[in-house]
Amino acid sequence: MFSIFRDSDQLETVEQQLVEMLTNCQDTFRLGTAAVFGEMDVTEAGDLLDGVDKNLNKTERAIRRELLVHGTVRGAEVDQGLMLTYMSVAKDIERIGDYCKNIWNLAQMGVNLSDGFDSDELTKHCERVAGLIKAALDAFAEQDVEKVHKLIPGIKDDAQHYDRHLIEFVNSDLPGRVAAPRALFYRYIKRISAHLANVLSSVVMPVDRLDFYKKSKAIDTE
């Protein structure tokens, strides 16, 4: 019963929860893409993904509560900037989970991206995003400023590339059952990448510029 009176740094706990959420995102992305590339049974992947997604949502709510308690207990001493940052980061990570679920939804609708003309490229993009989630997780957990400055420009380039594909499929003469899932897939991985960039921006950007990365405005830039 007295364990509730164990001391701890609450913001450190929140940071650990955010890292745990990013780890969950690795799982949700793996499950979503495994289903849409026919590497895993759709129902089985869906069940597993649902469990991880529920955990993501639960952790986001817990973080909100803990930050509220932290602000209430600490009053004027509280680091308001950090609290607002973590609220924003939790939302971004939760959204990544949602987009992974959207990818799984494509599989649920009968889409299989492994048997198309562009399966190699799509697989390559999947690997890139999976690698990006892992890199973002590490950079965020270590608060590695240099790594963040390297990752974000790459994500911006990726986003432009995904957009070009999206526009291409929207305007293509391919049948809807081929073009539409691909357009959606590119849209989803673009959003996942963008939310990862937002998470990373929390390491280097001031609170008012969260999600709006600009190297010259980063807090480590003189």
Partner 1 sequence: MEDTGAQPEGPTRKPFLGLNETVGRLGLAIFFLYLFLVGVKSLEKGISSFGEDFVDQVFSNVANPIAGLAAGVLATVLVQSSSVTTATIVGLVGAGVLPVESAVPMVMGANMGTTVTNTLASLGHVRQSAYFQRAFAAATVHDYFNLLSVAILLPLELAFGLITKIAEGLADRVKGILPEVGTGSSPIKSAIKAPVSWMTDLIESFGWSAALGAILLVLGIGLIFLALWMITRQMKAVMSGRIENAINGVLNKGAGAGALLAGLLMTIAVQSSSITTSILVPLVAAGVLTLRNAFPVTLGANLGTTVTALLASIAADSPDALVIALAHVTFNILGILVFYPWPKLRGIPIMLAERTGEAAVRHKSIVAAYVIGLFIVTPIAILLIT
Give the phi and the psi of residue 110 in degrees, each rounded to 5.
100, 5
Structure tokens at 132: 């990006």
Structure tokens at 206: 């001031």
If one asks whether residue 173 binds partner 1 (CB under 8 A), the answer comes out as: no
Among the listed residues 41, 58, 69, 153, the single contact to partner 1 using CB under 8 A: 69
Question: Which residues have C-beta within 8 Å of that of residue 205, sequence separation ≥ 6?
Answer: 211, 212, 213, 214, 217, 218, 219
If one asks whether residue 72 binds partner 1 (CB under 8 A), the answer comes out as: yes
Subset of 76-95 contacting partner 1 (CB under 8 A)? 77, 79, 81-82, 85
What is the rounded distance in angstroms from the CA atom of residue 206 to the CA atom of residue 199? 13
Query: Which range, of 35-43, 94-102, 113-121, 202-210, touches partner 1 by CB under 8 A?
Result: 202-210
If one asks whether residue 170 binds partner 1 (CB under 8 A), the answer comes out as: no
If one asks whether residue 117 binds partner 1 (CB under 8 A), the answer comes out as: no
What is the rounded distance in angstroms from the CA atom of residue 109 to the CA atom of residue 216? 44
If one asks whether residue 4 binds partner 1 (CB under 8 A), the answer comes out as: yes
| Interface positions with partner 1 (CB under 8 A) | 1, 4-12, 64-66, 68-70, 72-74, 77, 79, 81-82, 85, 143, 202-208, 216-219, 221
